[in-house]
Amino acid sequence: MALPLPIPPCAKRDGLSSLSCERFEYASTMATTLLAPVKTEREILEHSMYEDDPNANTQLPSEVGSQPRWGPRHRGAQELAELYSPGKRIQEWVCVVVCCTLCFYAGVLMVRNMRADASLLLAAVAGVLTADFASGVVHWAADTWGAVDLPIIGKNFIRPFREHHIDPTSITRHDFIETNGDNFAITIPVLGRIVWQLTTYDESSIDKQFHWIAYWYLCCIFVAMTNQIHKWSHTYFGLPTWVVCLQEWHIVLPRRHHRIHHVAPHETYFCITTGWLNWPLEKLHFWSMLETIIEALTGCKPRADDMKWAQKRS
């Protein structure tokens, strides 16, 4: 006796044509892909350090032997922390002082020349989005490529990124200068240009370019604040209420949102200013496509140095 065949998912039934059924399947696949979480709760628990446990008691049995997989007792994290030099500290101090001076001076000049209208708001939002994207590009580049033993940039600029993955809470023990020195440095040339424009241009030229100036100014403020915002996203205790509100409203990077980046092997959610661009960039496979192209062109493996430090044992 022939058994009844199961109804194939795209069979004509209930008046649905195969074409509309195909469309329905395509739409439902799209929806599933878009709605799928970037990292599941289980992946977050098993492949990232449990930062909201103040006593670091949460060590899963899957951890390798008695060696800590993350945290301040990790051998690689200790070695990297020791590479922070007095010369680097001086560079950070100089950058913080110069950036704050320029930022304050530019701010006073901006207020004096302020032209408030709706397009100013658009310029401000575009400035914040640019800062978020820039934070993603710099973070992705430093996490994915290069090595700590490269001359000059290795010890001074790549080292903190490696340390951060194996001891994410180390950032919460860094003071204002160590946290913000490098980000403040990036904004100095742009802030310098803004001050120069607002002090040397005539009234009508400032009028014409004010929205561009406002765009770059807000972009600089958010770029400068990025690592402070990032530090807050790792701080689970004692944050001021206004910071928690900014995180809850997703005006700055929220804590739960940033946990997704800290799932090993740290290959997504690189934007750390507001994090607004993380989801769309992930769904567009932006970072993985860039990595495929670069690997094909250069033969370099993404995150090879990051992996080397993560596996360091005493």
Q: Give 155 or 231: the residue with its C-beta nearer to Zn ion.
A: 231
Give the binding range for Zn ion (CB under 5 A) out of 110-118, 120-128, 151-159, 260-268: 260-268
Q: Is the peptide bond before 265 cis (omega within 30 degrees of 0)?
A: yes
Give the binding range for Zn ion (CB under 5 A) out of 147-155, 249-257, 263-271, 290-298: 263-271
Give the containing element (helix H, strand E) for 212: helix 203-233
Judged on CB neighbours under 10 Å (0-12, 13-18, 19+), 184 is: buried
Give the binding range for Zn ion (CB under 5 A) out of 52-60, 195-203, 262-270, 284-292: 262-270
Q: How many residues does the chain have?
A: 314
What distance in Å separates the CA atoms of residue 122 and residue 60, rounded to the nearest whole number?
A: 47
CA distances from 297 to 137, 211, 291 (A): 19, 39, 10
Give the binding range for Zn ion (CB under 5 A) out of 7-15, 92-100, 210-218, 258-266: 258-266
- Write the CB contacts of 112 (distance below 8 Å, at least 6 apart in sequence): none
Judged on CB neighbours under 10 Å (0-12, 13-18, 19+), 134 is: middle
Binding residues among 129-148 for Zn ion as defined by CB under 5 A: 143
- Is residue 305 a contact point for Zn ion (CB under 5 A)? no
Q: Give 143 or 178: the residue with its C-beta nearer to Zn ion.
A: 143
Per the CB < 8 A criterion, the answer to whether 302 and 144 are in contact is yes
What distance in Å separates the CA atoms of residue 234 and residue 258, rounded to the nearest whole number?
A: 8
Q: Give 143 or 291: the residue with its C-beta nearer to Zn ion.
A: 143
- In the complex, the smallest distance separating the C-beta of residue 210 from Zn ion, rounded to whole angstroms, is 35
Per the CB < 8 A criterion, the answer to whether 78 and 72 are in contact is yes
Q: Give 161 or 210: the residue with its C-beta nearer to Zn ion.
A: 161
- In the complex, the smallest distance separating the C-beta of residue 129 from Zn ion, rounded to whole angstroms, is 20
- In the complex, the smallest distance separating the C-beta of residue 97 from Zn ion, rounded to whole angstroms, is 26
What distance in Å separates the CA atoms of residue 49 and residue 58, rounded to the nearest whole number?
A: 9
Give the containing element (helix H, strand E) for 31: helix 18-35
Total of chain residues touching Zn ion, rule CB under 5 A = 2
Per the CB < 8 A criterion, the answer to whether 214 and 110 are in contact is yes
Site string for Zn ion, 85-124 (x = CB under 5 A): ----------------------------------------
- In the complex, the smallest distance separating the C-beta of residue 77 from Zn ion, rounded to whole angstroms, is 14
Residue whose C-beta lies closest to Zn ion: 143
Give the binding range for Zn ion (CB under 5 A) out of 59-67, 119-127, 261-269, 297-305: 261-269
Query: Quick one: how far is CA 35 from the chain centroid?
Result: 21
- In the complex, the smallest distance separating the C-beta of residue 270 from Zn ion, rounded to whole angstroms, is 7
Give the binding range for Zn ion (CB under 5 A) out of 110-118, 130-138, 237-245, 265-273: 265-273
- In the complex, the smallest distance separating the C-beta of residue 135 from Zn ion, rounded to whole angstroms, is 11
Q: Which positions touch Zn ion (CB under 5 A)?
A: 143, 266
